[in-house]
Amino acid sequence: MVFLKRLLTLSFALSLAFVSCQSSPQGNLLNPNAFRSAMNDKKDEILLDVRTPGEFKEGYIKGAKNIDWNGPGFNEEVARLDKSKPVFVYCKGGGRSGAAVQALKGMGFKEVYDLKGGIMNWKSEGLPLQNEAESGLKGMNTKDYHKLLETDKLVLVDFYADWCSPCKKMEPFLKEIATEKADILDLQRINADKNTLIAQELNISGLPTILLYKNKKLVWSHLGYIGKDELLEKISTFN
Domain boundary, last residue among 103, 135, 167: 135
Number of domains, the chain: 2
* pLDDT value of position 126: 86
Q: Residues 100, 8: one domain?
A: yes
Enclosing H/E stretch for 211: strand 209-214
Q: Residues 126, 169: one domain?
A: no
Q: Measure the CA–CA gap between 95 and 117, rounded to whole angstroms.
A: 8
Q: Residues 118, 171: one domain?
A: no
pLDDT bucket at 98, cuts 50 / 70 / 90 = very high
Q: Residues 58, 124: one domain?
A: yes
Q: Is 23 exposed, middle or buried (0-12, 13-18, 19+ CB in 10 A)?
A: exposed
Cα torsion angle, 133, 139, 144, 146, sign = negative
Q: Measure the CA–CA gap between 142 and 82, rounded to whole angstroms.
A: 45
Domain with 219, as residue range(s), is 142-236
Q: Residues 16, 112: one domain?
A: yes
Kindly report the pTM of this predicted structure: 0.63
Q: Residues 128, 149: one domain?
A: no
CB-CB contact of 78 with 144 (8 Å)? no
Write out pLDDT tens, residues 178-217. 999 999 999 999 999 889 889 988 988 899 999 999 999 9
Q: Measure the CA–CA gap between 94 and 74, rounded to whole angstroms.
A: 17
Which residue numbers are catalytic? Answer: 164, 167
* pLDDT value of position 25: 42
Whichever domain contains 198, its CATH number is 3.40.30.10
Q: Residues 152, 128: one domain?
A: no
- Mean pLDDT of the region 60-64: 93
- Mean pLDDT of the region 103-132: 91
Q: Residues 87, 117: one domain?
A: yes
User: What is the pairing mode between strands 154-160 and 185-191?
Assistant: parallel
Q: Residues 24, 124: one domain?
A: yes
Q: Residues 50, 146: one domain?
A: no
Q: Residues 12, 100: one domain?
A: yes
Whichever domain contains 121, its CATH number is 3.40.250.10
Nearest to 218 by CA among 123, 173, 154, 141: 154
